[in-house]
Structure formats: structure tokens, C-alpha cells
């Protein structure tokens, strides 16, 4: 049986040290592009495969030790101004988690504003490469169907969420569809039967309509006789109340304000409303102005609890963990020498957990 080629064998064939081979195969910026390409080509030609036992041993050896500096990752934003992304509370949490995990792995994260006036895709690529950046975390974009132009073949990249339409990269995000289903099921388990859905249309569009899809599927399932919901709230059998009269008209508004929300609320008469994280406190204030108290008169829940908010009921996606997983994905790609737009993009979707909050109550 033919012996598998090792990194030491590759070093002899390439005329470099074993350390250079190791760094090159991990895409380390200290190794020139030409040398990395030559070593990668040799590895492919001779069918080199990493030894999983040695990789596991190495991971065990370094997990509790201070990580040596490995390189720089870029946090790429695409808003109208350099710091506008900081107005998105969840994105700030993603960034914090990304920075913390990068530091643990020996990387640092630099912010990179792709919409800098006069910055062309070619110039942006040159700047990133000059800074030794090989990995990119694409922050959520301000609108759906976004596009970012770079010479992607130089970078290992992952997108946070679905707002980036072109190119189609690997995605890391909370499981928006299942999180929304869980919200509806939890509300039903608490006794709510007229569950409404009201949010800006842009919010649902930015998540590829996973919110509306999850809401509809959950409502349809609860409309089936004998369906049960449960969790911490306890199991409840649906008797058809979740469907029929309980299926209310949804509100997806391009302009989401009081003038749009209140007529819908008066017509639909929901006993609980699923809203966007960014509008939850606003909606609660609108209801208060109408003499309605949350949760005494109406429940309020979200599919993604605002970062560091302990008031709003809904799904805790562990916001910093999403950013941390994005960094782990990019670093893994760097180590495997995977650059460019993937032929088959993968999605890492993180399940959330129910956070009781203070805006719903058990009513049955």
C-alpha cells in the first residue's frame, strides 16, 4: 500500500521548510502568493491529505494556550456612511462576538468600509491584500438583494445573513425560519389564539422571507385538529382555534408607522403580535398611547430578541455567538486554503432558545 505523502515530503519537493508548507496550506499571509500556489499545486498533484489524528492532537495542544498572531480578517460593511452599521443593534453584537473569537484564534479584525467614496473593486482588493487580509466577514447589508464587487478569488469569505445576494457566499446566521415557528408555538402554548404578524416589509425581505414563511407554516400546523405545542409553557392541544378565525391578516408595510399599524391592529384584533426586533419597543409605545398595556392587554414577541435586551419576549439567538461562528468558518476556510466564490454555498444556521422576557404572559 502506497504511503500517504506528508508535509515533510511536500517540503522536500518544494525546496522549502516543513513550517513553510504548514503555513502555506493554512493560507498564512507571511507566505507569498506564488509560494502558496506552488505548494498547493504540489499538494493536489500528490493527493496530500491532512492527518486527522495529528490535527486533533494539535487542536488539543493549543486550545488552552495563548494563540500566536495568525493574520488579519476584515469586517466588511456596505452602508451609506462608515459607521451606520452600528445603528443595527444585532450587528453590533455580531461584531463583538467576531472580534472576541478572532482574538482567541490569533487573528485581529479590522473594519473595512467598501463604500468609501472613489473606492473601486480593484483598489479595494489591492488595499485588503496590502494589509495582509485573507479572510472576510461580510456584515449584514442595509437592504436586501445587495451586491459587493471584489476580486473574490483572493479571499476566504462568509456572509452574515441573506442580505448579500451577489456573490453567493457561505452564510452564517440564526435559524430565522425555525425561530419564528418556535415563537408562534410558544405563544399558542401560553394560550394566545389570535396571533398577528406586523413588521416592516424590508425586515422580512432581508431575511429571505424566512420570518413570514415560518409564521405561516406554524399557523397552518396549529390549525390542524390534534396539533400540540409545548416547551416550557407546557403542552397544549390545538382545537382549530389556531386557524380559521385565528389566522389574521399579516401586516408587511413598506412604511411601518402608527398610521399604518393602528388601522391594522383595530381590524385584526390580535391578542399577541409578532414584530421585528427593531420595532418592538416602538410598537409597545404605540399600544400604550391607545390605553393598552403589554402584556396585560396584548402580548408582544420577536423572533430575535434585541441584543442585551431582557425585556422583550422571544427567541434569544445568542447574538455574539453568530459572529464567533462566522470567524470560525472563515478561519477554517483559510486553513483549508479555500478562496473565492464557492460552487455550492453552505449555510450554518444556529438554533435559538426561548427567552420569557416581560411582554407575554400565560392567559389560558
Evaluate whether residue 330 is within a structural domain. Answer: yes
Q: Are residues 160 and 182 in the same domain?
A: no
Q: Are residues 158 and 260 in the same domain?
A: no
pLDDT tens for residues 149-193? Answer: 999 999 999 999 999 999 999 999 999 999 999 999 999 999 999
pLDDT of 224 reads 73
Domain-ending residue, one of 317, 335, 359: 317
Q: How far is CA 190 from CA 104, 233, 360, in A?
A: 41, 6, 8
**Sorting pLDDT into bands at 50, 70 and 90, what band is 27?**
low
Q: Are residues 189 and 312 in the same domain?
A: yes
pLDDT of 318 reads 93
Q: Are residues 184 and 284 in the same domain?
A: yes
Q: Are residues 83 and 206 in the same domain?
A: no
Evaluate whether residue 16 is within a structural domain. Answer: no
How many separate domains does the chain show?
2
Residue 79: partners with Cβ closer than 8 Å, 6 or more residues away:
85, 113, 115, 141, 142
Evaluate whether residue 52 is within a structural domain. Answer: no
Please answer whether residues 319 and 186 qualify as being in contact, where contact means their C-beta atoms are separated by less than 8 angstroms: no
Of 115 and 58, which is predicted with more confidence?
115
Mean predicted lDDT score pLDDT of the chain: 88
Span 224-247, mean pLDDT? 51
| pLDDT at residue 285 is higher than 60 | yes
Using alpha carbons, select from 344, 333, 341 the residue that is nearest to residue 134.
333
List the strands of the sheet with 71-77, edge to edge. 107-113, 71-77, 133-138, 156-160, 170-174, 347-350
Q: Are residues 260 and 297 in the same domain?
A: yes
Instruction: Provide the whole-model pTM.
Output: 0.79
**Sorting pLDDT into bands at 50, 70 and 90, what band is 244?**
very low
Domain-ending residue, one of 298, 317, 336: 317
**Sorting pLDDT into bands at 50, 70 and 90, what band is 137?**
very high
pLDDT of 19 reads 77
Q: Are residues 265 and 144 in the same domain?
A: no
Evaluate whether residue 26 is within a structural domain. Answer: no
| pLDDT at residue 301 is higher than 50 | yes
pLDDT of 55 reads 57
Q: Are residues 238 and 121 in the same domain?
A: no
Span 69-95, mean pLDDT? 94
- Give the position of cell 448579500: 164
pLDDT of 247 reads 79
Of 134 and 3, which is predicted with more confidence?
134
Q: Are residues 82 and 146 in the same domain?
A: yes
Q: Are residues 308 and 334 in the same domain?
A: no
Evaluate whether residue 256 is within a structural domain. Answer: yes
pLDDT of 233 reads 45
Could you count the other beta carbons within 10 Å of the beta carbon of residue 87?
12
Evaluate whether residue 118 is within a structural domain. Answer: yes
| pLDDT at residue 243 is higher than 60 | no
Dihedral pair phi/psi, residue 129, rounded to 5°: -65, -40
| CATH number assigned to the domain comprising residue 94 | 3.40.50.2300
pLDDT of 236 reads 46
How far is Cα 299 from Cα 313, in angstroms, rounded to an integer? 9
DSSP tag of 182: H
The percent of residues in the chain predicted with pLDDT above 90, rounded, is 72
How far is Cα 360 from Cα 298, in angstroms, rounded to an integer? 8
Which residues sit opposite 111 in a β-bridge?
75
Q: Are residues 212 and 170 in the same domain?
A: no
**Alpha helix stretches (DSSP H) within the chain:** 7-14, 18-25, 33-45, 52-62, 89-104, 121-130, 176-189, 201-206, 210-222, 258-268, 280-289, 319-335
Please answer whether residues 330 and 157 qualify as being in contact, where contact means their C-beta atoms are separated by less than 8 angstroms: yes
The percent of residues in the chain predicted with pLDDT above 70, rounded, is 87
**Sorting pLDDT into bands at 50, 70 and 90, what band is 237?**
very low
Give residue 112's domain range.
Answer: 71-174+320-350
Q: Which class for 79: exposed (0-12), middle (13-18), buried (19 or more C-beta within 10 A)? A: buried
Angle (CA) 147-148-152 rounded to 5° is 130
pLDDT of 240 reads 38
- Give the position of cell 399604518: 260
Of 197 and 239, which is predicted with more confidence?
197
Evaluate whether residue 361 is within a structural domain. Answer: no
Euclidean distance between the first and final Cα of the chain, in Å? 69
pLDDT of 116 reads 95
Evaluate whether residue 59 is within a structural domain. Answer: no
pLDDT of 319 reads 95
| pLDDT at residue 11 is higher than 50 | yes
Q: Are strands 236-237 and 195-200 parallel, antiparallel or unpaired?
A: unpaired
Q: Are residues 132 and 222 in the same domain?
A: no
pLDDT of 229 reads 55
pLDDT tens for residues 306-333? Answer: 999 999 999 999 999 999 999 999 999 9
Amino acid at each position: 500500500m502506497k504511503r500517504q505523502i506528508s508535509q515533510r515530503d511536500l517540503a522536500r519537493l518544494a525546496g522549502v521548510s516543513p513550517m513553510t508548507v504548514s503555513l502555506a496550506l493554512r493560507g498564512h499571509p507571511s507566505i507569498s502568493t506564488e509560494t502558496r500556489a506552488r505548494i498547493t499545486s504540489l499538494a493536489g498533484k500528490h493527493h496530500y491529505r491532512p492527518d486527522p489524528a495529528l490535527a486533533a492532537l494539535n487542536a488539543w495542544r493549543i486550545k488552552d494556550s495563548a494563540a500566536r498572531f495568525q493574520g488579519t480578517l476584515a469586517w466588511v460593511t456596505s452602508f451609506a456612511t462608515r459607521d451606520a452599521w452600528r445603528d443595527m443593534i444585532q450587528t453590533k453584537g455580531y461584531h463583538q462576538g467576531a472580534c472576541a473569537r478572532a482574538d482567541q484564534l490569533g487573528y485581529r479584525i479590522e473594519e473595512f468600509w467598501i463604500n468609501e467614496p472613489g473606492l473601486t473593486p480593484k483598489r479595494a482588493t489591492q488595499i485588503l491584500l496590502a494589509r495582509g487580509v485573507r479572510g472576510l466577514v461580510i456584515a449584514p447589508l442595509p437592504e436586501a438583494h445587495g451586491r459587493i464587487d471584489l476580486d473574490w478569488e483572493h479571499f476566504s469569505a462568509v456572509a452574515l445573513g441573506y442580505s448579500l445576494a451577489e456573490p453567493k457566499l457561505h452564510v452564517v446566521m440564526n435559524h430565522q425560519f425555525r425561530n419564528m415557528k418556535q415563537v408562534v408555538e410558544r405563544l399558542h402554548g401560553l394560550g394566545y389564539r389570535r396571533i398577528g404578524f406586523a413588521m416592516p416589509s424590508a425586515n422580512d425581505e432581508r431575511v429571505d422571507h424566512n420570518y413570514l414563511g415560518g409564521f405561516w407554516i406554524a399557523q397552518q400546523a396549529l390549525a390542524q385538529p390534534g396539533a400540540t405545542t409545548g416547551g416550557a409553557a407546557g403542552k397544549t392541544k390545538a382545537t382549530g382555534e389556531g386557524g380559521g378565525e385565528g389566522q389574521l391578516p399579516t401586516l408587511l408595510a413598506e412604511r411601518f408607522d402608527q398610521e399604518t399599524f393602528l388601522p391594522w391592529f383595530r381590524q385584526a384584533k390580535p391578542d399577541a403580535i409578532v414584530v421585528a426586533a427593531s420595532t418592538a419597543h416602538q410598537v409597545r409605545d404605540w399600544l400604550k398611547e391607545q390605553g393598552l398595556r403589554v402584556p396585560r392587554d396584548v402580548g408582544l414577541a420577536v423572533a430575535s430578541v434585541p441584543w442585551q435586551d431582557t425585556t422583550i419576549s422571544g427567541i434569544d439567538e445568542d447574538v455574539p455567538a453568530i459572529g464567533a461562528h462566522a470567524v470560525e468558518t472563515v478561519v477554517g476556510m483559510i486553513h483549508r486554503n479555500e478562496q473565492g466564490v464557492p460552487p455550492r454555498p453552505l449555510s450554518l444556521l444556529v438554533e435559538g432558545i426561548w427567552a420569557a422576557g416581560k411582554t407575554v404572559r400565560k392567559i389560558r
